[in-house]
Amino acid sequence: MHYPWWYVPFLTAPMLIAAVAVVHVLVAHYAVGGGLFLALETQYAYRVKHKAYLEYLRGHAWFFILVTVVFGAITGVGIWWTIGLASPLATEVLIQTFVFGWAMEYVFFVLEIVSAFIFYYFWGRLPQRTHVTVGWIYAASAWMSLVLITGITAFMLNPGAWPERRTFWVGFLNPQFVPQVLARTGGSFLLASLYVYLHASIKVKDPALRNLIASRSARPALLGAVLVVLGGIGWYAFLPESARAALAAAAALNVMMVLIFAVTIAVFVMLYLGPYRNPGWLTPGFAILLFVAGLAAFSTGEFIREAVRKPYIIYNVVMGNQLRVDEIADAQRRGFLETGTWTRALVAARYPQAMRGREIDEAALLRLPEEDQRFLGRVIFQYQCNNCHAAQVGYSAVGHLMRGWSPELIRRVLDHLDESTFFMPPWTGTPEEADLLARYLTSIAFPRPGGMEPARR
């Protein structure tokens, strides 16, 4: 059975997932690193009896809860909503494979919410030791959530031996697990300091207090930048072969890789020369520069991580066309339209003359009027191609990618889809269905630009 497709005009569904996920990730990492900052610094402020610092930390806790608990919860729900619609099969596999992991994550998530509210709303009403303990409970719960979710999402890029052994721990402790936990833990430290710098540079007027905040946040930020680089190197080392090839083949991704390391090094240098060596440099302008640079590096890394999975959504398990790897051969033999509950019902209801009993007569599809053949070709496109391509206008629009292609070339490429472009899934359907798709693609392909006529022999 194929899940129904979800059409997102212009942007495409995966790019909508990326937009929501990147925003959530930038907040979720602050939830982890910021929790550690509040627990550690509250403990320090109590110990040295620094009332002004405690008052600042109380105000920062309000900002922290507003951003991470309120806005973070909204974007977290947004991720589940978008992946459930755009990649239902991959979502199903992740839920079924990691039921135990999700259960643990929800327990830690509840602990996060409860401890965060107790930490803030009972500020000044709890004994100091109890208050600090609640802060550390939050910090530990948030980091455990990061570890659990990282193991599950890292599985998508490289499930290791799971396709053969299929146990929870084999899938969770995948080759990408340790590198990504290192990078995400480092990213949490780094982003938390950048949020703190931005908040403190605007809210704190006392230079001495602002310098204290800057200097105490510099060490975790520097450590975070180092961990991001180390985790990134490990991430690359444990990429599957196809992912590494996709990275090498895409010029834009190579530029982004260079950009990540360049910006991360630049942020490290600015942190060292600024907050670490010269805390007085912390001004709103400097804090905004650091904040934007950190977000740019982190967001670019997230984009690359998602982009190199092609032709898979879950490596060696779910293809980019929303089919399991082991379903491809059956769909090629029986037909893509035939193997899908919704597609077979559509053909039966709309074109009963193309049915042979309860099965689709593939040859009869090509006897339908041209307009109907293009319609079925569009249906196949939406199921198999919509997850990565817009039609004529939008992200990676095939109308532009096929500009000037002849109908014969389009049809020939469909027969050798994964050979012509190795990070695309193989053609999944019968030759007759390839004819239907070719007719639709021919109708949306843009003509060759004027003045660029090919030379004729």
Predicted pLDDT at 12: 87
- Closest residue by Cα to residue 98 from 137, 154, 143: 154
Which residues does residue 360 pair with via DSSP β-bridges, in sequence order? 355
CA 306 to chain centre: 5
3-state secondary structure at position 307: helix
Fold of 325-444: Cytochrome Bc1 Complex; Chain D, domain 2 (1.10.760)
- Closest residue by Cα to residue 121 from 204, 63, 61: 61
Predicted pLDDT at 280: 85
Length of the chain: 457
Evaluate whether 222 touches 268 at the Cβ level (below 8 Å).
Answer: yes
- What one-character-per-residue DSSP string does 37-69 give? HHHHHHHHHHHHT-HHHHHHHHHHHHHHHIIII
In this structure, which long-range contacts are made by residues 200-205, counting pairs with CB atoms below 8 Å and at least 24 apart in sequence? Answer: 200/56, 200/60, 200/282, 200/287, 201/282, 201/283, 201/284, 201/286, 201/287, 202/284, 202/287, 203/56, 203/59, 203/60, 204/56
How far, in Å, are 14, 29, 153, 314, 317 from residue 306 at the CA level? 9, 17, 10, 10, 16
CB neighbourhood size of 114 (10 A) = 14
**pLDDT tens-digit profile, the chain (457 residues):** 688 888 888 888 888 888 888 889 999 999 999 999 999 999 999 999 999 999 999 999 999 999 998 898 889 889 999 999 989 999 999 999 999 999 999 999 999 999 999 999 999 999 999 999 999 999 999 999 999 999 999 999 999 999 999 999 999 999 999 999 999 999 999 999 999 999 999 999 999 999 999 999 999 999 998 999 899 899 999 999 888 888 888 888 888 888 888 888 888 899 999 888 988 888 899 999 999 998 888 888 888 888 888 889 999 999 988 899 999 999 999 999 999 999 999 999 999 999 999 999 999 999 999 999 999 999 999 999 988 899 988 888 999 999 999 999 999 999 999 888 888 899 999 999 999 999 999 999 999 887 766 655 5
Which residues does residue 218 pair with via DSSP β-bridges, in sequence order? none
- What one-character-per-residue DSSP string does 3-36 give? PPP---TBT-HHHHHHHHHHHHHHHHHHHHHHHH
| N- to C-terminal Cα separation, the chain | 49
CB-based contacts of 103, cutoff 8 Å, min separation 6:
none
- Closest residue by Cα to residue 172 from 157, 189, 188, 154: 154
Exposed/middle/buried for residue 452 (C-beta within 10 Å: 0-12, 13-18, 19+) = exposed
Evaluate whether 340 touches 1 at the Cβ level (below 8 Å).
Answer: yes
Residue with tokens 């639709």: 440
Instruction: Report d(CA 120, CA 131) in Å as an integer.
Output: 9
3-state secondary structure at position 356: strand
Q: Tell me which H or E stretch contains 316.
A: none
How far, in Å, are 92, 205, 245 from residue 419 at the CA level? 29, 62, 14
Instruction: Report d(CA 286, CA 457) in Å as an integer.
Output: 62
Predicted pLDDT at 234: 94
- Classify the phi-psi angles of 317: left when phi > 0, otherwise alpha if psi is within -120 to 50, otherwise beta: alpha
Q: One-letter amino acid identity for 237?
A: A
Helices 72-86, 13-48: inter-axial angle, 10-degree rounding = 150
